[in-house]
Structure 1
Amino acid sequence: MKCIAVSVVLMFVAVITEAQQTLKFDFGNGRVKKGYTAVTPESKFANEKGYGFTAESEVTAVDRGGKSVNDDYITSSKPFYFSVNLPDGNYDVKIILGDKKGTSATTVRAECRRLFLENIRTAKGKFVTETFTVNVRDSLIRDEKGNIVKAVRLKPREYNYLHWDNFLTIEFNDSLPKVCAIEITPNKTAPTIFLAGNSTVVDQDKEPWAAWGQMIPRFFAPGKAAVANYAESGEALNSFLSARRLEKILSLMKPGDYLFIEFGHNDMKQKGPGIGPFTSYKKLLKQYIAEVKKKAGIPVLVTSMHRRNFDKDGKIINTLLEYPEAVRQTAKEENVAVIDLNAMSKVLYEAWGPIKSIKAFVHFPANTFPGQTTKLEDNTHFSTYGAYELAKCIVKSIKDQNLPLAQFLRTDIAVYDPASPATFESFYWPMSSFLTSTKPDGN
């Protein structure tokens, strides 16, 4: 993780905030277009510059000759990462991909493996300009005047996450990535879709783990909305509150922003007087709803998906007790939307069955990944394939219910039926550089 000199960051942030300028980066060793900042293989990140490639990035430049930003590019045979200092907010990121003498294939993610562009291919001599809208944040909580008053209580592992660090970090991946230029512009009008949840929602920072929250940005149209995923592994409604995660969200929330709320896996393990799905759990759900409404935001409840637990007939066994039903009841009582991921996941898992569903969860033999000496068998947390299919369930419910935020979805999304999911073999995911065999918190 990059260490941040606070004074440098605040100075850089002030420039961006006051000017509301578009940052333009011309990638490659060729002639730099006027108004752009040159980015060469030697442009390693430094706080005093405020941008550059991260230390693990190994890149090369190709110059085809000419005066356009399209005439040179940066490429690599491995995933590479480009970071820019930016303040809290939403940004439209425009990327030019291609090669005037060759082909290209690029997948783009940001922050902790948050998916935006999938396998964008260009024919020989062709270029494509793609745009996505991304949320950037730090862990500081500010008052209405911008004064720092508190901070989110991060867990030690979060210090190395790429989504708490005052940077937008963009991951370029795939078989033949060729990046010609990037433009980054603040987006002050797009609503923010905040996510509150646990390890089944969080932007999992390392392969092979994943969750639906890091997949769903892929389905929103550029410029229309930004997803801000505040979920964290191991969290329950009460611990999310005590860590000031909700407080941070509320400090940024604008009228018309959304908060998706999905908890249950960790809440159900809590014991004690007055603790239960229809008592403490519902009370906290209603507290979240009330706080969001005070900010003129729009709360959306999400029932927790099932664990992978089949009976002898291939039917899903409910291990979440009455917690999903408590969410449904709360939504009805508070007159807020509910996305019933619990019901959809039952259909989805049973469509896969006990064998095919293994591919949707983190099940890998020993030595599949470097340093992984024991097999991985996790029936709660998802592989990238499983997380992607669950994100499609969320999108389906948004569309089926014709929720207002359906207008922000991409128009090219295929019709989805959890009873007939895409096959594992059809799913494409070039792996990121960061790996771990450590299971996320929660179960």
Structure 2
Amino acid sequence: MKHYFFIILTLLFSLFTEAQQTSFKFDFGSGKVEKGYTQVMPETKYTSQTGYGFDFDSKIKSVENDSSALKGDYITGKGPFYFSVKLPEGNYDVKVVLGDTKGTSATSVRAECRRLMLPQVTTKQGETVERTFTVHVRDSLIRDGKGNVIDKVHVKPREKNYLHWDNVLTLEFNDSLPKICAIEITPNKSAATIFLAGDSTVVDQPEDPYASWGQMFPAFLIPSKVAVANYAESGETLKAFENENRFEKIWSMAKPGDYLFIEFTHNDQKPGPNHLDAFTTFKETLKNWIAEARKRDMIPVLVTSTQRRNFDEQGHIVNTLLDYPEGMRQAAKEENVALIDLSAMSKTLYETLGKEQSVKAFVHYPANTYPNQTKTLEDNTHFNPYGAYELASCVVSSIREQKLPLAKYIRKNVKEYNPARPNPVATFYWPQSGFVSAVKPDGN
């Protein structure tokens, strides 16, 4: 009986996703509506029936400047606000029109679980601008080449509240003066996709003050040409990633020319059923997944794991990752695949910052810094947004220095970076998200 129910559910879902709209044009504000656009007003709330609208009790208002349709009015809010659209999984180009024909604006845009798409975009008095980014949308179902559901990812209970395992694109508009005039969403089937497989140091962390380099990565890349698909999850190991069908999900979404970044270690080294030995089973498993990626004409890239913040008396980082970074280096050399040595670069970064200043890259905060945070946060594994951004800068700098094919996808305005000369923490800007938690992610 359950078998037949699953078949019926699969057919219904396939029909539903095929019927789903994939392109949208939204005109924000209560004024005149541009031809061919759908009007979005402050009272337009997201429901699964309408398929679009403001989400998570966003506090917004409409401002009407003049009678022109697309740019004569806008939606704004005093805090971060959220807009969601129901979409089938895939890559999408999202064009936003930001600004104010009678004022100034400052808007940061993030997607899904706080994935950074547009750092602060400012407009001068009376100016509006268009900006585009490319975002990956997914659900937890695994489909064959004909679109039939054949399995699913075994998501953990806490993941069910994440914003990236559903057929809904959620955009966060944030900053000191966010003003959104319009949005256009268009499927992008030609962009190369960079799939990220990893643990809590890579995942799109869902809540401030936690962050990882994977969720900062998209902001460095040229839109329409490439999309970042972050499939990492806290507490994962190579074995668990396989057993939970996460690699199978990636295979079902990938196309020739896509990339697979693999970064594990923090949890693989721990005793237990998912433990792998650095120079034997860990290397062997890496090689298996390299072979699987190559079968699909994907381009594998190995990334050594970030070091923990653990200093000796001389101010040097203690290697708590044991032989695993070296095991990955050997696997990369033996299989002739690109290696991004984030382990070495993170060591340089932390030692440059020093024992005292390096806490500013990690989740170290006094009690009561965040809502319901009654105890001091002292996490030497997980980064705050500044630390995550610096590590993403390390990844990008390695791509450039090695002249990897991916280098062509890096934005031209991204400056050269050296972890021995990190960006000052005082210059980093990250307006706090509406999602905040003091609960530590899995893994350490």
| Bucket of the pairwise TM-score, normalised by the shorter protein | over 0.9
Task: Give how far 1:15 is off.
Answer: 3.8
| Alpha-carbon separation, structure 1, partners of 2:36 and 2:311 | 59
Task: Give how far 1:47 is off.
Answer: 1.2
| Alpha-carbon separation, structure 2, partners of 1:79 and 1:273 | 39
| Alpha-carbon separation, structure 2, partners of 1:373 and 1:9 | 44
Report the more deviating stretch, 6-15 or 111-120. Answer: 6-15
- Preserved contact between residue 54 and residue 83 of structure 1 (Cα < 8 Å): yes
| Alpha-carbon separation, structure 2, partners of 1:325 and 1:55 | 45
| Alpha-carbon separation, structure 2, partners of 1:360 and 1:105 | 25
Amino acid at match of 1:179: I
Partner residue in 1 for 2:38: 37
- Preserved contact between residue 10 and residue 148 of structure 2 (Cα < 8 Å): no
Partner residue in 2 for 1:222: 223
Task: Give how far 1:10 is off.
Answer: 5.8
| Alpha-carbon separation, structure 2, partners of 1:9 and 1:57 | 29
Partner residue in 2 for 1:192: 193
- Preserved contact between residue 8 and residue 48 of structure 1 (Cα < 8 Å): no
1:341 partnered with 2:342: yes
Partner residue in 1 for 2:128: 127
Task: Give how far 1:287 is off.
Answer: 1.1
- Preserved contact between residue 104 and residue 126 of structure 2 (Cα < 8 Å): yes
| Alpha-carbon separation, structure 1, partners of 2:275 and 2:10 | 44
1:420-431 matches, within 5 Å, as 420-431=421-432
Equivalent position SS for 2:121: strand
Offset from partner CA, 1:49-89 (integer Å, 9 cap, x none): 11011132111001112133000000000100000011111
Partner residue in 2 for 1:239: 240
Q: Alignment RMSD, CA only? A: 1.6
Amino acid at match of 2:60: V
Amino acid at match of 1:64: N
Amino acid at match of 1:113: R
Q: CA separation of 1:66/1:248 partners in 2, compared to 1, >3 Å: closer, same or farther?
A: same
Structure 1 residue runs without a partner (length 5+)? none
Partner residue in 1 for 2:149: 148
1:4-43 matches, within 5 Å, as 13-16=17-20, 22-43=23-44
Task: Give how far 1:22 is off.
Answer: 3.3
| Alpha-carbon separation, structure 1, partners of 2:306 and 2:117 | 23
Q: CA separation of 1:62/1:280 partners in 2, compared to 1, >3 Å: closer, same or farther?
A: same
Partner residue in 1 for 2:396: 395
Task: Give how far 1:368 is off.
Answer: 0.6
Equivalent position SS for 2:207: coil
Equivalent position SS for 1:326: helix
Partner residue in 2 for 1:367: 368
TM-score of the pair, normalised by structure 1: 0.96
| Alpha-carbon separation, structure 2, partners of 1:51 and 1:6 | 24
- Preserved contact between residue 11 and residue 148 of structure 2 (Cα < 8 Å): no
Q: CA separation of 1:432/1:11 partners in 2, compared to 1, >3 Å: closer, same or farther?
A: farther
Equivalent position SS for 1:170: strand
Offset from partner CA, 1:421-441 (integer Å, 9 cap, x none): 011111000010111111000
Offset from partner CA, 1:190-229 (integer Å, 9 cap, x none): 0100000000000000010000000000000011100000
| Alpha-carbon separation, structure 1, partners of 2:179 and 2:13 | 29
1:307-346 matches, within 5 Å, as 307-346=308-347
Task: Give how far 1:13 is off.
Answer: 3.5
Q: CA separation of 1:206/1:275 partners in 2, compared to 1, >3 Å: closer, same or farther?
A: closer
Amino acid at match of 1:223: S
Partner residue in 1 for 2:3: none
Equivalent position SS for 1:291: helix
Equivalent position SS for 2:279: helix
Amino acid at match of 1:305: T
- Preserved contact between residue 142 and residue 252 of structure 2 (Cα < 8 Å): yes
- Preserved contact between residue 240 and residue 274 of structure 2 (Cα < 8 Å): no
Q: CA separation of 1:275/1:11 partners in 2, compared to 1, >3 Å: closer, same or farther?
A: closer
Amino acid at match of 2:242: L
Q: CA separation of 1:97/1:6 partners in 2, compared to 1, >3 Å: closer, same or farther?
A: farther
Amino acid at match of 1:160: N
- Preserved contact between residue 82 and residue 170 of structure 1 (Cα < 8 Å): yes
The percent of aligned pairs where both chains have the same amino acid is: 60
TM-score of the pair, normalised by structure 2: 0.96
1:259-274 matches, within 5 Å, as 259-270=260-271
Amino acid at match of 2:235: G
Amino acid at match of 1:117: L
| Alpha-carbon separation, structure 1, partners of 2:163 and 2:436 | 14
Task: Give how far 1:12 is off.
Answer: 6.2
The alignment covers a number of residue pairs equal to 436
| Alpha-carbon separation, structure 1, partners of 2:434 and 2:14 | 30
Partner residue in 2 for 1:89: 90
| Alpha-carbon separation, structure 2, partners of 1:408 and 1:51 | 31
Q: CA separation of 1:365/1:83 partners in 2, compared to 1, >3 Å: closer, same or farther?
A: same
Offset from partner CA, 1:308-361 (integer Å, 9 cap, x none): 001111111100000000000000111100000011111111100001100000
Amino acid at match of 1:400: E
Offset from partner CA, 1:25-50 (integer Å, 9 cap, x none): 00000011110000000110011111
| Alpha-carbon separation, structure 1, partners of 2:56 and 2:360 | 33
Partner residue in 2 for 1:61: 62
| Alpha-carbon separation, structure 2, partners of 1:39 and 1:6 | 33
| Alpha-carbon separation, structure 2, partners of 1:293 and 1:203 | 26
Task: Give how far 1:6 is off.
Answer: 9.4
Partner residue in 1 for 2:173: 172
| Alpha-carbon separation, structure 2, partners of 1:60 and 1:12 | 33
Q: CA separation of 1:177/1:289 partners in 2, compared to 1, >3 Å: closer, same or farther?
A: same
Report the more deviating stretch, 55-64 or 200-209. Answer: 55-64
Offset from partner CA, 1:153-173 (integer Å, 9 cap, x none): 000000000000111100000
